[in-house]
Amino acid sequence: MGDPHTDRRPIGRRMTPQRAYYRRLAQSAEIGTVTRGQLAVLAQNLTCIGLISATESHLLVTLVNTAPADTFDKSGRPIIFKSNQQLGFEIGRSAGRVSRMLSSLFDAGLITMQDSGNYKRYPVRNGDGAIVDGCGIDMRILIARYRELDQLVRQAKAEKSAASTALRRYRGALRNLRYALATVTAPSDRVLARIAGRVERVVALVNVASKAPSALLRRASALFDWFVERLMQLPRRSESASETENSTCTYAENGMHKQTTNPDPLEESDDNRRSAGAEQLHLLEAGSASKRAFEQSLGGGLRQVNGRERQPQAAVALQDLVRAIPALKAYGFALPRSWADLARLAPQMCRLTGISDDARRRAVEQMGEQQAAVAIAVTLQKYDRQEVKSPGGYLRAMTDRAAAGELHLARSIFGLTARNSIEALN
């Protein structure tokens, strides 16, 4: 006959590598560095980081307060010998519930447990009556991890405070802006309608304000403040020194700066000007940038993207792109200082305009990351001007034109710059 005991379930507390590590860490705790009051406060605050539940926190506070205060001094041993039944009576839970919560606290690294052979909890004393060892609930692990857990609690409180501040700031800025839209009469109806449309798009992007990231709320609040200043027709704020430096030409001859306003290379200018899709309205008003602003990423000869040849694009200055896309500043984006910065803004612009990730990936595969970012920026500007109703479809159409070699981003950029210059004069 077989052994009748082979089907028995394992008896005893489950031991895992993590629990074994916590027991070893508890032995390295420096008793006397943390008081019982500090541990009780920490146990109450652990719920804010989601480490334990409120009931488990109540049990942990009870365990901390059960140990005498002198056991947290040097040479003390903060070990609790109360039974699960007694602990359950004190917190209003059953003994079985207390057993399960103790296992959860053990797994979280907030207590360690040493069981006896019959699962009784008792101390081991020396000849002087001092506790030198025992089988029970050991609180030394909480002392060893006090600084780590206290730092997590402080960080969670700081994040919560920042989120609450950003939420109140956002709601106040939105209320002020809507009041300004309802009462101001100086701007034209067209300007008021455009600003109102932008406000609603930002509100839709934020969605539920109480669940939005604090960084997004701060950007939206700053944008609302800028809208209010524009509605009140306040003078523009002075540009920063760095932006002024970028706009200053360092290439001059005899104190005079020579620049060209033609965005197309000479060998391609005739063909590009004959294109029916070109945006060449008042091209001479578009301006240009210094030599330093040009980058090779949007100019040059034939390139290859995923094994396919890409048609050469006319050289475009990043500064011209920024002038052509005022929607970047209008929606609170940090103005790019390089083409890499613009590429990093592309996913955010897609989320704002509702462009899907698939459409953006297709554009990157066909045009390259930098030219795809330029196409997305152009789409954002035309979406802001309400010239495009489906930004995703517009970007896909641009991708198809790029595949056919019929896309000319430079002309779109200079055309948008010319329109902005005309509107500024009007």
Residue 422's pLDDT is what? 76
Q: How confident is the model at residue 70 (pLDDT cuts 50, 70, 90)?
A: confident
pLDDT of residue 291: 36
Using the Cα atoms of residue 243, residue 245, residue 246 and residue 248 in order, give the sign of their dihedral: positive
Q: What is the pLDDT of residues 2-40, one digit of tens each?
A: 555 554 545 556 778 888 899 899 888 888 889 999 999
Is the pLDDT assigned to residue 53 strictly greater than 80? yes
What is the distance between the alpha carbons of residues 347 and 196, in angstroms, rounded to a whole number?
24
Quick: pLDDT tens for 206-258.
888 888 888 888 888 888 888 888 888 777 655 433 443 444 444 444 444 44
pTM of the model: 0.51
Q: CA nearest 142: which of 225, 283, 44, 213?
A: 44
* Tokens describing residue 245: 């430096």
Over residues 129-144, mean pLDDT: 80
Confidence check: pLDDT of 290 > 50: no
Separation between Cα atoms, residue 423 and residue 426, nearest integer Å: 5
Judged against a pLDDT cut of 90, whether residue 105 lies above it is answered with: yes
Report the pLDDT averaged over residues 43-47: 92
Model confidence over 331-341: pLDDT tens digits? 778 888 888 88
The span from the CA of 361 to the CA of 77, in Å, is: 61
Q: How far apart are CA 3 and CA 411, in angstroms?
A: 87
Cα–Cα distance, 392 to 410 (Å, whole number): 20
In three-state secondary structure terms, 113 is strand
pLDDT at 173 over 60: yes
> Does residue 304 have a pLDDT over 60?
no
Average pLDDT of 52-77?
89
In sequence order, what are the residues at sequence separation of 6 or more whose Cβ sits closer than 8 angstroms to the Cβ of residue 136? 79, 80, 81, 113, 114, 121, 122, 123
Q: Please give the pLDDT value at position 197.
A: 86
- AA identity, residue 5: H
Q: For 343-369, what is each residue's pLDDT tens digit?
A: 888 888 888 888 888 899 999 999 888
pLDDT at 404: 87
Confidence category of residue 42, pLDDT binned at 50, 70, 90: very high
pLDDT value of position 214: 85
- Summarize pLDDT for 367-420 with one digit per residue, the tens: 888 899 999 999 988 888 888 888 888 999 999 988 888 888 888 888 888 887
- In terms of Cβ atoms closer than 10 Å to its own Cβ (0-12, 13-18, 19+), residue 78 is buried
Confidence of residue 65 (pLDDT cuts 50, 70, 90): very high
